[in-house]
Amino acid sequence: MADLVTHIATALIVKAVTRAPHTGVLVLGVVLPDLAARGPTVVFSRLSLWGASLPDWMVHGFGVLHMPLGFLALTLLVSLAFVPEDRGRAWGQLLAGCALHLGVDLLQFHVGVGYPLLYPFSTWHYELGWMGTEDSVTVAPWLFAASAAAWWWRRPQKGTAAVASGSAEGS
């Protein structure tokens, strides 16, 4: 859970600082790799431990969705849920969110291996190793506070009118 909080907070900080639109779509993109890859893996692994006879691909086959080529396909698929005129922007925001997710994950070090960024073209694993995976528990509250502060700073000041997204002045 703390890992999802860190990912969401980084997306909120980026959107608050850049004042760019489509915050929700970037936030969806930043959690998509974990929801699509880790979620099914956790569920099917647990079912397997409880005695369910599941094929290996079902238990371990979702990891590709946590890799660049996998989330390229995943974001294209998810962008189809948007109305046709918004699909390009949605795909770009989803893909940017996944890239931000991967950038944060690369800061970690793992017991064993890092991330196979070039899979299936290479099986080399990459990571920067600046913090442990469990460190997100201590980082999450600080990132949450930083994202809240960034959004507080971003709010319209008294005496100024908020400009609607998509209006002539806001474009």
Mean pLDDT (whole number) for 19-47: 88
| pLDDT score recorded for residue 98 | 96
Q: Which of 5-19, 33-47, 73-87, 110-124 is least confident?
A: 110-124
Span 70-128, pLDDT tens digits: 999 999 999 999 999 999 999 999 999 999 999 988 888 776 677 888 888 888 888 88
**Residue 160 — very low, low, confident or very high, per pLDDT cuts 50/70/90?**
low
Q: CB under 8 Å to 71, separation ≥6 — which residues?
A: 32, 33, 36, 65, 95, 98, 102
Q: Where are the domains of the chain?
A: 2-154
State yes or no: cis peptide before 141, omega within 30 of 0.
Answer: no
What is the Cα 43 distance to its own chain's centre? 20
Give the C-alpha separation, 29 to 64, whole Å.
16
pLDDT band (50, 70, 90) for residue 165: low
Both tokens of residue 55? 């094929």
d(CA 121, CA 44): 27
- Please give the pLDDT value at position 170: 46
Residue that wins the pLDDT comparison between 106 and 164: 106
| Predicted TM-score (pTM) of this structure | 0.77
Give the pair of three-digit tokens for residue 130.
């600046």
Of 143, 103, 156, 130, nearest in space to 13 by CA: 143
Q: Span 134-152, mean pLDDT?
A: 81
Structure confidence at residue 167 as a pLDDT band (50, 70, 90) = very low
Q: Is the pLDDT confidence value at 32 over 60?
A: yes
Terminal-to-terminal C-alpha distance of the chain: 36
pLDDT at 171 over 50: no
Cα 10 to its chain centre, rounded Å, is 9
